[in-house]
Amino acid sequence: MKVYCEKDYDQASRRAANIIAAQVLLKPECVLGLATGSTPVGAYKELIAKCEKGEIDFSKVRSVNLDEYKGLSPENDQSYRYFMNTNLFDHINIDKNNTNVPNGLEPDADKACADYDKIIESMGGVDLQLLGLGHNGHIAFNEPAEEFSKGTNCVNLTQMTIDANARFFESKDEVPKQAYTMGIASIMQAKKILIVACGEDKAEIVKKAFTGPITPQVPASVLQLHPDVTLVGDAAAMKYMV
Ligand code: GLP
């Protein structure tokens, strides 16, 4: 595992954006696995700036996002499709037809998950998967569980995740209780993984996930087994890692 401990959030975002930009430069038709949450917003801003300056070209890039709330439409400003459009896709020259997010409006969970697995498969594998890290060690929306999930699955969000994500909603009651998420096995199939964690509140879980036992109770711990992982964090999140 490659570990970058950066001074602050802006530097960590710059580092993450550079790694993504390098992937796009080396393989313009690459498949990017993309993430939501507050952590990647800075990296997305950097990528937008690079694209505006003509330093990177997203026109051939394809993408798959990790997850989506069940029941939210793409137009709902809390949906992850809306997040991706407003924080990245609307500002770069990617063809939105080549971007994928699970269909939150599909009420049949089995169908929604199977459809998304087919999409991931049809893309021929993810070249670089970007990840954030939940406070309980979740990656995408794979919550602590008895076993590591395989393909796309429908999860019941834990109270911790609902509480953490409530800051984006008008009230806690509005946070959906379920989500469709790419599975752990699918995430592990990405050729390269880039995980970003920032802030003091992530320090404990970074330590647990990357230096503790590998267990589905800490989903991100599985990344210790991946052959090409880069962990980027700010000094606060990485305080036990240096
Ligand atoms: C959500 C997302 C995850 C993300 C996590 C952490 O639960 N489904 O993909 O990694 O939040 O979010 P943040 O970056 O805001 O701490």
The structure tokens listed for 219 are: 């989903």
Closest ligand 1 atom to Cα of 39: 14
Contact 80 CB / ligand 1 (< 6 Å): no
Residue 90 has a pLDDT of: 98
Cα→Cα distances 102→115, 150, 160, 181, 185, Å? 8, 16, 22, 8, 17
Output the CA–CA distances (angstroms, integers) from residue 68 to 168, 185, 216, in the order listed. Answer: 14, 18, 21
The predicted pLDDT at position 228 comes to 98
Answer yes or no: is the C-beta of 16 below 6 A from any ligand 1 atom. Answer: no
pLDDT at 242 over 90: no
- Taking CA atoms, 9 is separated from 49, 197, 220, in Å, by 17, 9, 21
Selection from 185, 183, 145 nearest residue 161 by Cα? 145
Give percent of the chain with pLDDT exceeding 90. 95
How much is the average pLDDT of 112-116?
98
- For 10-43, write each residue's pLDDT tens digit: 999 999 999 999 999 999 999 999 999 999 999 9
Nearest CA to ligand 1 atom 6: 134
Q: Would you say the CB of residue 140 lies under 6 angstroms from ligand 1? A: yes
